[in-house]
Structure formats: C-alpha cells, structure tokens
Homo-oligomer: A and B are copies of this chain.
Amino acid sequence: MNVDLINIGNELLLGIVTNTHAAYLGQKLAELGFHLERQVTVADDPAQIAAALREALERADIVMMTGGLGPTSDDMTASVVGKFFNLRFRIDQKVQKANEEWFKKRGVPMPELVKHQALVPEGSIVLYNEHGTAPGFILSISGKRTKWLIVLPGPPRELKPMFEKDVVAFIREKFPGQSPVEWRVLRIAELGESVVQERVEKKMKEEFPGLEVAYCARPGEVDLRLSGPKDLVERAESVARKILGLHVFGEGSAEIEMEATVIRLLRERKKTVTCAESCTGGALANRFTNIPGSSEVFLGGWVAYSNDFKMRELGVSAEVIKKDGAVSEAVAREMAEAARKKSGADFTLSITGIAGPNGGTAEKPPGTVFIALAAKEKTEVWREFFPVDRWTFKWRVAQHALNRLRLELLKKETHD
C-alpha cells in the first residue's frame, strides 16, 4: 500500500508558509500502518497540479492532496480534480447550512464567496469541516485496482480534525488488518547525537540483527528511533533504555515534549511549580501551560525582564545586581527563592542569562545563562552556555530548566 502526498500552494514554495501537513500526515499514516512514500509540493497552477496527480496515481494506492480548497480565486484544487476526472459538481445542503451557521455564531455576515464552498463533486464522499467553510472529499478512482483520492483543506486547524474524524475511519474500514509500522522513539536529553550512537549502536546491531536504528537531533534533545518486527523493537527498546538511563525523558510513538513529562510527574506527586524568567521571557511558562491540565500544578510565573522588575517584584537586591551583574549565580538564586516564597510553590525555576545577539562581556558572552531550582530544603544553581540564535537559546534554556526539575522529581521518587 503506497501513499503519496501532494501539497498545493505557491505560499509553500515561496516560503511564506511552512508545510506542517507532511509531518502530521506522515505520522498519522504510520500509526495506521501505512508508510508515506513520497511527498511533493507544487504551485497553485492547474497544469502542475494535474501533472503531480497523474504521477502520484501511477505510483500510489492512496493519493492525498492538501490545500487550494478555500473560497478565493487562487484556490483551484477542486476544479482541477473535477476536470481531471470529468466530474459534475452539486450543492451539498449540509455544507451550505453549516456555513450559514458558522457565520451566524460569530455574528458576522456570510461573504458571497463562501457560498461556492458548498459545491462538491457528485459521487464523492463529503468530509464535513467543523473548523472552517471548505469541505474535503474522497473519490474512488476505478482502474486495474481501485485507488483513492483524498482531498483535504489547507489550514491545519481544519485538516487535522477532518483527518482524525473521517479519514481515519474511512481508511480503517477500507483497509482492515493493516498492521501498524512498528517503531519506538526514545527522546533523550542532554546528550549529543554522536554520543547516543556511540553508547547504543554497537549493542543494538549485535544483539538485534534486522533492527533499524536512526537518530535525529534537535536543540537540547535527540530522538533514538528503533524500527523493525514488533518483538525485536520491544526488546531493543528495553536494552536502550537501560543504557541511556535517566537521559530518556519520553518514549512511545507519539510526540512527547519535555514539558508534558514534567507536568505528569508533578501531578503524580501532587507538587506545584512556579517560575521566574528573565532572558527566556515567558518561554518556560508558555511551555508549561501548553499542556492541558497544567493548571493543577503550575501556579504562575514572573517574567522579570528589566532589572527594576527583578528588584520590585522579586526583591532582588540592587547591591547584588551591581556587584555580580543581573546575569549571575546570586541573582538566579535570589529570583528562585523569592518567587518560591511568594507563591508558596513546592518548586521554583529561575533563569537569568544573555539571549543575544547583542549584550554580554568577554567573561559572560551571549549564550551564558544561570538556572536555579529552589525547593524547600535547598536551592541549586547551574551555569550553562548555549551559544546559539535567540529563538533556539530561549527554547534550549527552557528545555534545560525543565530537565533539571524532571531529574529532581525522579530523585525524590527514590528518596520518598
């Protein structure tokens, strides 16, 4: 079973928008037991869309297309597909009614152009859009063997629910018994890609012939991916976990972020956390609060960006700032301890550093950061150095702070 994906849109090739559909659909298809074989992006151009469709139908059993279903004049996917297969269109009453409701709920008049959105190919399975006005559709393409064309809207918040609700059910029904591609990802903190390979690869290859081992590095984390027969993958995973120990912060086939692990550990232990950030400017709090249910354990935080804010709100002393600088062990310690005391949380993380690109001294160049973790019994402070771009720095530092808290929570586990 081959699946090809065609993403349509000039904005993807001009780089105005990042294509997130390839990753999303690739992951979902793998979970359903299909390998996405090839992904192609083409422009909003009838000839190019038709050419990509022709090529994909030669190769694949299922062709998925995304984008170009909107109400505006550069949206031409439905009409290209219609001409390609010589289809008639009909007005779908359910779509039309839902679109009228959509605008009514928001209290704005329905634009004239949206009325076209109710047109769907005759004979297609209509995919209703609960988060937008453009329906998707599925066509069966007869031939030596039946192939399927699945056409989905471009906006991720419309495509994802439509895929998860209707397309997954459709694929499960049409292709029963497809066994999922077996793979496990171990997510690893604070070790480089090469170091991970040096620690695990030899053992994996020797003990588990036939296992596919792959690595993927991102700022502050490395994925170790094991794939192959189910039994082999499971045994290999347990050996790899033993070798990597506490460096493994997440596992499974889903994307597990460090913050999800930390929130889970806090909830399990009924402990609360707050944070006091300077250079990360809210990035740490933002990651905590991305997790549904975080409000049970995350009480709040301070973004103490200016020195004045640090002094007024967290009582950092002017003398310490003058003596050691705002980016210092002493200030990180004062921020963490004051914030913990004020909030009554079990743990507080504080961060003060130089994100760059400007600022810093020879002794404390951009990338320098102090991270403190205050608990009832003690406060620990670490000095770290991440000489990377501003965005990566913020992410990397938040990751490091989250990991310090994770290790502390796991340590507590063995003590309690």
Chain A residues in the interface with B (C-beta under 8 A): 9-20, 22-30, 35-44, 70-74, 106, 108, 111-114, 131, 155, 157, 181, 183, 185, 192-195, 197-198, 201, 213-219, 223, 225, 255, 274-275, 280-290, 292-295, 298-306, 308-309, 312-313, 342-344, 355-358, 385, 388-392, 394
Contact = CB atoms under 8 A, between A and B. Distances in A.
27 contacts: A11-B214, A13-B35, A14-B27, A14-B30, A15-B25, A15-B30, A16-B223, A18-B20, A18-B23, A22-B41, A37-B43, A71-B194, A72-B215, A74-B214, A106-B385, A111-B192, A113-B198, A157-B389, A281-B294, A282-B282, A282-B285, A285-B286, A292-B358, A295-B305, A295-B306, A301-B302, A312-B342
Pick the most buried of A18, A35, A284, A358: most chain B CB atoms within 10 A of its CB: A18
A392 B38 CA distance: 29
Contacts of A388: 131, 157
Given A70-B193, A73-B201, A282-B285, A18 B15 contact: no
A35 B48 CA distance: 14
Contacts of A286: 281-283, 285-286, 394
B292 A282 contact: no
Contact of A216 (B17, B40, B391): B17
Contacts of A218: 17, 155
Contacts of A112: 198
B11 A27 contact: no
Nearest to A289: B281
A43 B25 CA distance: 15
A267 B218 CA distance: 34
Nearest to A286: B282
A12 B22 contact: yes
A111 B194 contact: yes
Contact of A305 (B16, B19, B40, B300): B300
A306 B313 contact: no
